[in-house]
Structure formats: C-alpha cells, structure tokens
Amino acid sequence: MADDIREQQLAAQASGGALSPVEIIDETPVSLTDGPVVKVGALRRFGQLLRRSPKLTIGLVVIVAIVLFTVIVPFFTESPTALDNASLLRPGEDGHLLGTTQLGADVLSQLAHGGRSSLLIGLTAGLITLVLSVIFGVIGGYLGGWVDETLFLISSVMLVIPGLPLMIVISSYIPGRSIWLIAVILGVTSWAGSALVLRSQARSLRTRDYVAASRVAGERPTRIILVEIMPNLLPLFAGQFLFAVVAAILGEAGLSYLGLGPTGGVTWGTMLNEAQTGAALTRGAWWWFIPPGLLIAFLGGALSLVNFSIDEIINPKLRAGSIAAKNTRDAKKRKKKVDQ
C-alpha cells in the first residue's frame, strides 16, 4: 500500500519543523457505575433529531407528502393518457381538478403518475451514481498506488465530459427508451464528481490511527474498507445520494423537455415538454405547466434541506454554532424578561 501521504507529512516535518500541536484530551471523568444504562431506542432518537433540526423536519414532511401524493392519487384518477374530447385545455373543473391538456388528458392524473416515474428515475439513477462513485472513489482512495491512479484517471475524464450533451447523444441513439434506461443513462453520466469527493475522504481516512490500528491487528484491506472506513462515510454517502437524486430528477426533466426522455411514458418532464409544444404559456394554460414545475422545485428543495441537516448533524462544529446562537438568543430573552 502506498505510503505517500505519510511520506509527505514526515518530509514536511523534517524540512521545516512543522509540528502538529500536541493537544491534551479533556479528561472528563466518566463514571459508568452510577445509574442504569439507558439505551435510547432508535425511534426516540429519531424523534429527538427531528425536534433539534427544523430543516430536517420540513424537508422530510415535503418529501413524504409528495411521495404519498404520487402513490395514493393514481387510485382516484383515470389513466394519464385517457383523452376526454369534451374538455380540451380547460382549467380546473368537475372531473378534472387541475384541468386538462390540449389533447384532453387530465393534468392531475398526469401529475400523479408522472410523479411516480420521475421519482423512480430519480431514485434509481441516484443509486447507480452512488454505487459507481463508491467503486471508483473509495476503493481507489484507500488502496492507493496504480489502482488509485487508474480509477482516478477514469473519474477525471468522465468529470470533464459534459453531462447533458453526453446524455443527449446517448438518448438520441436509442429510439425506444424506457424509464429504466433513462435512469441508467442519468446514473452513468453523473457519478464522477461524487467519486472524487469520496476518494479524497477515503484518502484522508486511511491515514487515521484507527485504520493503522486495524492493519496492525491483522485486518485485510477488504474488511478495512467495508467495516472500518465505509461506516464513517455513511453521512457522506447520504449527502451524495440525495444530491444525485436531485440532479437526476432535474436531468430527466431536462431530457424530457428536449424530447429525449422516456418514450410513451409520462413524467413531470414530459408534461413540461408537451406544454411547451402545445404553446401553453402563450395560451395562458398555467394549470398545465406550473404544477409539474412547482413539484420539481419543491422536491429538489426538500431533498436539499435534508442534505443540509445531515451536514449539521454530522459536523458538530456547525451544530455547536447554531446551538450557541440559540443559547445566546435564549439568554438575551431571559435577561430581557428579568429587566422588564
């Protein structure tokens, strides 16, 4: 295993006397014998988490609401491709709560069914991105040497190739595209950035003493990667995954808008595409394109909120900052009350 990072540290130490400060670790006396060991259940801990972080709560509520919408509503509407000739391009009315498209399809139904497809594509593409970035990032990052060099080269090349044009090129070659194919295309073109982030984190983690201690104990590299390093990357995985899902949903919307999305299916992106070809904007048919646009925006925003809250949860400094601010606010409030 390449020791290049360690070499750099030692060489730097030697050539300039750059010393790392020896901090004394706080010796808070921990008495483990008083009181019973109360193991807080996972559910309760989750509840505590929600209370602590409004961002997480809001984000999760919006995501759950949208998911429920796409799961439940399709049971109550007709097919998204059913055309009602009696009602063309009409705003909300009986039987068509959100109005109809220019061909007579029910907007609400399209929104709900399309939501399912969009979400599925987003999730699948996100998963593919995650798996690929873990393979190209974590494995290379930990092993170093020529394995790392090769994987890094591939990742760098993929990063430089512009995503959207690549997707367009691939999409336009294949006449019949299912939502799964779109998901694969999206996933395969957007893992590189994530891979580099994971790689640099893995490189940093491999110099940790607990990884060295595992090696000294006799662990093999595979186990070290899976058991010692990856668990510490979980928050990063979650963040990268959510980010990938947002990108995939937006990417699918973009592809579909260009007419290169799933053929025959309905997604929020295809709705926007049809609205555009049907000149919905000039005709003032706001009920056609605003709902899908809004839902894309809300979902993207909610996923990002959850991402931020994960950042705060794993980075105690960020959390301490907001807690300190809150404490100062509370202290000021209390002082005001006393002074009144």
Partner 1 sequence: MTTLEVKHLVKDFRLQGGRGKKFRAVDDVSFTLEPGKTIALVGESGSGKSTIARMIAKLETPSSGEILLDGHVSATHGRKLAGYRHDVQMVFQDPFASLNPFHTIQHHLERPLRLHGRVKTQAEADAETERLLERVSLTPAAAYASRSPHELSGGQRQRVAIARALAPGARFLVADEPVSMLDVSIRLSVLNLLARLQREDNLGVLYITHDLATARHFSDEIIVLFKGKIVERGPSDDVIMNPQHEYTKLLLGAAPNPENHGRLRAEVLAEMAGGPQDAGRDRFGTRGM
Partner 2 sequence: MNAPLAAERSTAAGRSVDGREAVLTARDVSIDYEVSPVVHAVRDVSLTLHRGEILGLAGESGCGKTTLAYGINQLLRPPAALRSGSIVFHDQDGTDVDLRSLEGDALRTFRWDKISMVFQGAMNSLNPVITIRAQLFDVFTTHRPGMSKKQKEERSQELLRKVGVDPNRLDSYAHQLSGGMRQRVMIAMALALNPQVMIMDEPTTALDVVVQRGILREIMRLREEFNFAVVFITHDLPLLLEISDRIAIMLQGEIVELDTAANIFEDAQHPYTRRLLSSFPSLTGDRGSFIRTGEEA
Would you tell me which residues interact with partner 1 (CB under 8 A)? 3, 6-8, 10-11, 13-15, 17, 19, 22-30, 32-33, 37, 208-210, 212-219, 228, 231-232
User: Coil, strand or helix: which one is 175?
Assistant: coil
CB nearer to partner 2: pick between 21 and 41: 21
CB nearer to partner 1: pick between 208 and 326: 208
292/267 Cα distance (integer angstroms) = 9
338 is an interface residue for partner 2 by CB under 8 A: no
The residues that bridge with 96 in the sheet, in sequence order, are 93
Residue 21: name its binding partner from partner 2, partner 1, none (Cβ under 5 to 8 Å by kind): partner 2
The H or E element containing residue 73 is none
CA 150 → CA 98, 144, 161, distances in Å? 53, 10, 17
106/116 Cα distance (integer angstroms) = 16
Selected from 14, 19, 37, 43, the binder of partner 2 by CB under 8 A is 19
Q: Which amino acid, 309?
A: S
Chain centroid offset of residue 288 CA: 28
Residue 93: name its binding partner from partner 1, partner 2, none (Cβ under 5 to 8 Å by kind): none
> What would the two tokens of residue 200 be?
């640099």
Using left for φ > 0, alpha for ψ between -120 and 50, and beta otherwise, residue 88 falls in: beta
Selected from 17, 175, 176, 218, the binder of partner 2 by CB under 8 A is 17
CB nearer to partner 1: pick between 28 and 340: 28
CB nearer to partner 1: pick between 14 and 338: 14
Selected from 172, 178, 277, 328, the binder of partner 2 by CB under 8 A is 328
Among positive and negative, which fits the CA dihedral 41, 44, 46, 49?
Answer: negative
Among positive and negative, which fits the CA dihedral 127, 132, 135, 137?
Answer: negative
| Binding range to partner 2, per CB under 8 A, among 15-23, 32-40, 146-154, 219-227 | 15-23
Selected from 46, 174, 323, 333, the binder of partner 2 by CB under 8 A is 323
267/296 Cα distance (integer angstroms) = 11
Least distance in Å: CB of 212 to partner 1?
Answer: 6
CB nearer to partner 2: pick between 19 and 40: 19
CB nearer to partner 2: pick between 297 and 323: 323
> What would the two tokens of residue 211 be?
């990884």
183/171 Cα distance (integer angstroms) = 11
Selected from 26, 34, 94, 339, the binder of partner 2 by CB under 8 A is 26
169 is an interface residue for partner 2 by CB under 8 A: no
> Which stretches of the chain bind partner 2, using CB under 8 A?
16-22, 24-28, 323-325, 327-328, 331
